Amino acid sequence: MSDFQLVHSCTMPIRWGDMDAFGHVNNTNFFRYMEQARIEWLETLRLASVGDGGTGPMIVNAQMTFLKQLQYPGEVVCHTLAGQPGRSSLETRFELRRADDVATLVAQGSAKVVGVDYASGRSTPMPDTLRERLTGSSADRPKAA
CA distance 38 to 19: 22
CA distance 7 to 136: 14
CATH of the domain at 125: 3.10.129.10
Residue 28 covered by a domain: yes
Residue 24 covered by a domain: yes
Residue 67's nearest CA partner among 8, 25, 12, 111 is 25
Least confident of 26-30, 100-104, 115-119: 115-119
Angle at 85 between CA 83 and CA 86, to 5 degrees: 130
pLDDT greater than 60 at residue 61: yes
Residue 32 covered by a domain: yes
Give the N- to C-terminal CA distance of the chain in Å, as an integer: 40
Q: Provide the number of structural domains found in the chain.
A: 1
Residue 140 covered by a domain: no
Higher pLDDT, 107 or 130: 107
Residue 145 covered by a domain: no
Q: Is the peptide bond before 57 cis (omega within 30 degrees of 0)?
A: no
Residue 127 covered by a domain: yes
Higher pLDDT, 143 or 39: 39
Q: What is the mean pLDDT of the chain?
A: 90
pLDDT the model gives residue 112 = 97
Distances (CA, A) of 102 to 25, 41, 79, 99: 17, 20, 11, 6
Say what percent of the chain tops pLDDT 70.
Answer: 88
Residue 102 covered by a domain: yes
Average pLDDT over residues 114-139: 85
Range of the domain at 30: 5-135
Instruction: Check if the beta carbon of residue 95 is closer than 8 Å to that of residue 81.
Output: yes
Residue 118 covered by a domain: yes
pLDDT greater than 90 at residue 133: no
Segment 64-97, tens digit of pLDDT? 999 999 999 999 999 999 999 999 999 999 999 9
